[in-house]
Chains A and B, each alone.
Chain A
């Protein structure tokens, strides 16, 4: 059992949880993730490690409520427990060797790369950050990102804050006028694909964090496989971060939507008729 020490609602359907998990916190690094089970017998779902405190033994995650398991989690509060919390899984972000870094975050993805921004800032190479969300309210961890970035560009789909439009508009403008060594893009799959495409003809390296569907997160099921440069890789152990320009996004898209497609069918083939 793992205790939720604190919970904060950051926006509608986005919650921040601080979990008591000293073992996970001890070896966790930015870019890695955990897999949790809300209650005994429940689904295993992955979330990026957004922050960790090795002294207090805590791990922070940000969760967007999208389906059954995240809805169950949203009902819990500080003091409640969850059944499993395993990690850190996957490989940490590796930005060593890059001097000029652009961070691109979409939705919750903008927030979970805040430890990377902090690290870069500390190393004296504060990143240029582009952060996008549907509207102002969904732009989370803005202050943190602003603090650790050399320049900060918020973008909203509806223009309620910052520039109106998608992050790719800004990324393109930046690439047209400046040279970057690397872009780290984290967010929904379509956004990461779009950022990669905008940068395709530019020599800049693009790193994306693949949020494939997962089960174990240790390399034993193959459910999270992605094709990178023509080779099959497992997002959970070989990733989650990969060279965006080498990823077969078309395949990744079909794989990500597999369960979605069937979950919305009326006579749900996957779970059987849904119990109301």
Chain B
């Protein structure tokens, strides 16, 4: 049997899109979606499903698309995934569902992510009618409005719980709002998901920092249970000389200014430095997003500096590919040792690396090559080398057990060391993915339901 080629959604021209914030990858047309669905072999063993952290019935929803039953496909997905428009866009499919698709052996895997995005957007455009839900007289507070908090809130609201989300920022969405840029995840998609949540009766209170504005103990006086989904927002720096020079940004600061604070827009109230020669340190999604944003903010040259090789880059394949298409340079096996400059950053001193023995996570350990230092000129430096859970809430809550690395300790249901207090997402795992945060929110919602009913 001849295997047809994978359908690819159209993409904006790299030389045009790297100057604007429009979404790079278009959504499938209905015709393309049906064509792509047609390639699926409907494997009985469903290997692809094992790759999905939330176990979506992938052949199931694809079969519906094949029959042009898009509403039916949406129903199948919604059994396992609340945010298909988002996951279809940002899941690392090539290491999850698509990695296990049998078609890998004979060609290219089914474009599961693109199909999921198609169905998610189809559903969002149509809007869902929310049936009135009978309230059961139980109240739950959710701290943080990232994917973990949003999912937990939605699942509980559907069961009749009265849910209030408390969010520190002025707008809900967590990383989906302040971190991942518009050209990858349009904010209207996130806003639509949040609108749906409000229709379910979830109350969202922004501008509330739990641990400061309200203490966890105070929440427990008013609510039967609390879910903590505060993410991993604390940025890491390298600890090298010169890192506090003006012009050195954490990716969080840079992306927050551009996305949430809208510094990308002409005449915005929030300033951000628009570098001409920008260096981004790191090679995850956050680094790719920062580099591609810097390009769109008017840089002449943007380089990624990464201490390992291409094979170890943790970003989604598509992001690396898109970044390179947009003209971003990759300086691999290179590590910064000093930030140069007087009043602001003027450059960065790097050292060449080679790969040694694998570390405890199985990734080759980078080793400095003595005497190989060299300087790169730059007027802006963005550090995207990782984040850890924000200590603010645990510090204000001595009874909440955390690990040495600041991760909230939970059992398999998300229950923390405090009765009726659950946690999930990046706050309970360290920086991970949207889909894992979502599934943690869902798991905790289930546990809360079982304990309170």
Contacts and interface: CB of A to CB of B under 8 A. Distances in A.
B282 to A, nearest CB: 14
Given A220-B233, A220-B390, A271-B267, A232 B261 contact: no
A43 B272 CA distance: 11
B50 interface: no
A275 to B, nearest CB: 5
Contacts of B392: 218-219, 237
Interface string A56-90: 00000000000011000000000000011111110
B208 interface: yes
A70 to B, nearest CB: 11
Given A218-B209, A275-B267, A232 B170 contact: no
A175 interface: no
Contacts of A24: 213
B174 to A, nearest CB: 11
A98 interface: no
Interface stretch (B71-79, B249-257, B366-374): B249-257
Interface in A8-31: 23-24, 27
A225 B391 CA distance: 16
A6 B295 CA distance: 45
Contacts of B263: 271
A223 B233 CA distance: 13
A211 B273 CA distance: 20
A4 B263 CA distance: 27
Interface stretch (A116-124, A162-170, A257-265): A257-265
B95 interface: no
B396 to A, nearest CB: 10
A225 B237 CA distance: 11
A44 interface: yes
B246 interface: yes
Nearest to A263: B271
B344 interface: yes
Given A89-B209, A219-B233, A258 B253 contact: no
Interface residues of A, number: 42
A215 B269 contact: no
Given A222-B237, A237-B392, A258 B344 contact: yes
A255 interface: yes
B390 A218 contact: yes
A272 B206 CA distance: 30
Contacts of A83: 170
B369 to A, nearest CB: 28
Given A43-B269, A84-B207, A216 B169 contact: yes
- Which residue of B168, B233, B244, B344 has the most chain A CB atoms within 10 A of its CB atom? B244
A254 interface: yes
A68 B170 contact: no
Contact of A27 (B215, B239, B266): B215
B19 interface: no
Interface string A227-261: 10000100001000000000000010011011100
A219 B250 contact: no
Closest 3 CB pairs of A and B: A258-B246, A220-B233, A221-B253
14 contacts: A27-B213, A27-B215, A43-B270, A85-B207, A86-B168, A86-B170, A86-B213, A87-B209, A216-B168, A221-B235, A227-B244, A232-B243, A275-B266, A275-B267
Interface of A: 23-24, 27, 37, 41-44, 68-69, 83-89, 215-216, 218-223, 225, 227, 232, 237, 251, 254-255, 257-259, 262-263, 269-272, 275
Interface of B: 168-170, 206-209, 212-215, 233-235, 237, 239, 243-247, 249-250, 252-253, 256-257, 261-263, 266-274, 343-344, 390-392
Given A44-B261, A262-B273, 13 more contacts: A44-B170, A44-B270, A83-B170, A86-B168, A218-B212, A218-B233, A220-B233, A221-B250, A227-B244, A254-B246, A258-B344, A270-B273, A275-B267
